[in-house]
Structure 1
Amino acid sequence: MTGPSTIIDPRDDVLGRSRVTDTPELEAFYEELAARNAGAFWKRANAIEPWEPATRYRPTLWRYAEMRAMCLRALDLVRPDEAGRRVVTLLNDSDAGRENVAVCGWLFSGMQAMRPGEITPAHKHTASAHRFIMEGKGAYTVVDGHHITLGANDYVLTPNGCWHDHGVAADGEVSIWQDGLDIPLMNSLETNFYAVYDQPAQTAAYPADDLPLTYGGAALRPEGVAAWEKPYSPVMVYRWEAVRDALLNLAKVSVGSPFDGHMMRYANPLTGGWALQTMGAHMRMLPGGFRGKAHRHTGNVVYNVARGRGCSIIGGQRYDWQTHDIFCVPAWTWHEHVNLDAAEEAFLFSFNDFPVMEALGVRIEEPFPKNDGHQICAS
Structure 2
Amino acid sequence: MAWDETRSWIAGDANQPLYQALLDDAATAPARNALRKKVVRPDEMPWEMARQGLLKHLINEAMNTRMETVDAYMQIIPPGSRSGKHRHLAEECLYVLEGSGYDLHQDCDVEITDEYFWKPQDLVQRFDWEAGDVIYIPPNTIHQHFNADPARPARLISSTNRIFKYSGLNDLEQIEDAPEYEAGAVLTAETIRQYLRNPG
Please report the TM-score for the alignment, with normalisation by the length of structure 2: 0.55
Match of 2:137 in 1: 329
* 2:113 aligned with 1:306: no
Give runs of ≥4 in structure 1 deviating > 6 Å. none
8 Å contact from structure 2 (residues 78, 154) kept in 1:
yes
In 2: Cα distance, 1:358 partner to 1:367 partner: 17
**Against the structure 1 CA distance between its residues 365 and 322, is the aligned structure 2 distance closer, same or farther, given a 3 Å change threshold?**
same
8 Å contact from structure 1 (residues 289, 339) kept in 2:
yes
Match of 1:357 in 2: 164
2:159 partner amino acid = F
* 2:51 aligned with 1:263: no
Q: Which one of the candidate residues 156, 179, 182 is aligned to 1:348? A: 156
8 Å contact from structure 1 (residues 296, 365) kept in 2:
yes
8 Å contact from structure 1 (residues 313, 319) kept in 2:
yes
Residues 68-79 of structure 1: matches in 2 within 5 Å?
none
How much has 1:275 moved relative to structure 2? 4.9
Match of 1:319 in 2: 127
How much has 1:301 moved relative to structure 2? 0.5
How much has 1:321 moved relative to structure 2? 0.8
In 1: Cα distance, 2:37 partner to 2:51 partner: 32
**Against the structure 1 CA distance between its residues 312 and 299, is the aligned structure 2 distance closer, same or farther, given a 3 Å change threshold?**
same
Match of 1:201 in 2: none
- What is the identity percentage for the equivalent residue pairs of Structure 1 and Structure 2? 25
Q: Which one of the candidate residues 23, 27, 33 is aligned to 1:230? A: 33
Match of 2:174 in 1: 367
**Against the structure 1 CA distance between its residues 324 and 231, is the aligned structure 2 distance closer, same or farther, given a 3 Å change threshold?**
farther
- The CA deviation string for residues 163-196 of structure 1, in whole angstroms up to 9 with x for no partner, is xxxxxxxxxxxxxxxxxxxxxxxxxxxxxxxxxx
8 Å contact from structure 2 (residues 87, 141) kept in 1:
yes
2:55 partner amino acid = M
Show structure 1 runs of 5+ residues with no match.
1-226, 370-379
How much has 1:332 moved relative to structure 2? 0.7
In 1: Cα distance, 2:51 partner to 2:147 partner: 13
In 2: Cα distance, 1:246 partner to 1:327 partner: 23
**Against the structure 1 CA distance between its residues 286 and 228, is the aligned structure 2 distance closer, same or farther, given a 3 Å change threshold?**
farther
Of structures 1 and 2, the one scoring higher in RCO (CA 8 A, sep 6+) is 2
Match of 1:117 in 2: none
How much has 1:268 moved relative to structure 2? 6.3
Aligned length: 130
2:32 partner amino acid = E
Please report the TM-score for the alignment, with normalisation by the length of structure 1: 0.30
In 2: Cα distance, 1:258 partner to 1:340 partner: 20
Q: Which has the larger radius of gyration?
A: 1
**Against the structure 1 CA distance between its residues 352 and 264, is the aligned structure 2 distance closer, same or farther, given a 3 Å change threshold?**
same
**Against the structure 1 CA distance between its residues 290 and 228, is the aligned structure 2 distance closer, same or farther, given a 3 Å change threshold?**
farther
Match of 2:75 in 1: 284
Residues 1-379 of structure 1: matches in 2 within 5 Å?
229-230=32-33, 233-236=36-39, 238=40, 242=42, 250=47, 256-259=49-52, 261-267=53-59, 271-272=62-63, 275-315=66-106, 316-353=124-161, 355-368=162-175
8 Å contact from structure 1 (residues 233, 267) kept in 2:
no
Match of 2:179 in 1: none
- The CA deviation string for residues 65-122 of structure 1, in whole angstroms up to 9 with x for no partner, is xxxxxxxxxxxxxxxxxxxxxxxxxxxxxxxxxxxxxxxxxxxxxxxxxxxxxxxxxx
Question: Aligned Cα RMSD in Å?
Answer: 3.1
Show structure 2 runs of 5+ residues with no match.
1-29, 107-123, 177-200
